[in-house]
Amino acid sequence: MPSKLISITRHAALIAALAVNTLPAQAQATARPAPSPAGCGEPFNVYGPFDYRLAHITQKSIVENAHFTRGVENLTRRKTGAFGHDIGYTLAVFPNHPRAIHSMEQLAAKEKTDPPQGADMTVECYYARGMNFVPDDLVFRMFYVNYLSRRNRLEEARRFLDYIVTQAGDAPHTHFNAGMLYFDLKVYDQALIQAHRAMALGMDRPDLRERLESVKRWKDPEPAPAADAAASAASAASQATR
């Protein structure tokens, strides 16, 4: 299981959040249809597709050892052909594979073409297919918020991020990452709210607070009434034991 350490860099932060976004393990993830959005075409694969969070290590290894090696992920060494082919195959089998979608996005930027050579669809189509396949994968959705933000599609990014917050429940890492993304969007008031929520749920990393302090937008949370404070402490303790 990857570390819970959360970097302040955008994609590193979201990849680290996978440590607390994994669903309960099953012997094998179940294959089910993952149709592409209209106009995107269909990726070719004869295996899967599977929810990456549920996939057994054997299912992951079958695909990653053959198509998504470290060299492919880092765009430094091809495996079976064009990088886009191997990354695209990985996303065909695991539509919400977070590292693969990041690599596909990096490849499109490097080649200055979308879809990249060998890929079946555009980067945004891969994102749309992944979100349609697993609507509750909030980490994958946060990657898409990054994608929109980098293209200055700020209203769309804010809308997707607002939705993520409504689904975050009592997950401190999700609230923390959402706060980091609000900060990137310069929505400082909402970033502060998310920082306070994450703190109340037991998140003690200083990164978001320090970023807000750097733009003079940090405020300490209001003292909670005794009953609320006790409930927050109990929730934090429960999270720590999971």
Distances (CA, A) of 167 to 164, 174, 175, 212, 233: 5, 9, 10, 24, 22
- Which candidate, 112, 42, 102, places its Cα nearest to that of 73? 102
- HSE-CB at 12 with a 13 A cutoff on CA atoms is 6
Beta-carbon contacts of residue 65 (< 8 Å; ≥ 6 apart): none
Q: What are phi and psi of 84, to 5 degrees?
A: -60, -30
For residues 56 and 27, is the Cβ–Cβ distance under 8 A?
Answer: yes
Q: Return d(Cα 81, Cα 44) in angstroms, integer.
A: 15
Residue located via tokens 């990653």:
64
* Number of helical (H) and strand (E) elements in the chain, helices listed first: 12, 0
Residue located via tokens 């929505």:
187
The pLDDT, as a whole number, for residue 240 is 54
Q: Return d(Cα 82, Cα 99) in angstroms, integer.
A: 17
Q: What is the CA radius of gyration of the chain?
A: 19
The pLDDT, as a whole number, for residue 29 is 72
The pLDDT, as a whole number, for residue 89 is 95
Q: How many residues does the chain have?
A: 242
The pLDDT, as a whole number, for residue 228 is 58
Could you tell me the pTM of the whole model? 0.80
The pLDDT, as a whole number, for residue 233 is 59
Beta-carbon contacts of residue 26 (< 8 Å; ≥ 6 apart): 54, 56
pLDDT per residue of the chain (242 residues) written in tens, 0 to 9: 333 323 334 444 444 444 334 444 444 578 888 888 888 987 777 788 999 999 999 999 999 999 999 999 999 999 999 999 999 999 999 999 999 999 999 999 999 999 999 999 999 999 999 999 999 999 999 999 999 999 999 999 999 999 999 999 999 999 999 999 999 999 999 999 999 999 999 999 999 999 999 999 999 988 766 555 555 656 665 655 55
The pLDDT, as a whole number, for residue 238 is 61
Beta-carbon contacts of residue 178 (< 8 Å; ≥ 6 apart): 142, 161, 164, 165, 168, 194
The angle formed by the CA atoms of residues 18, 30 and 86, to the nearest 5 degrees, is: 65
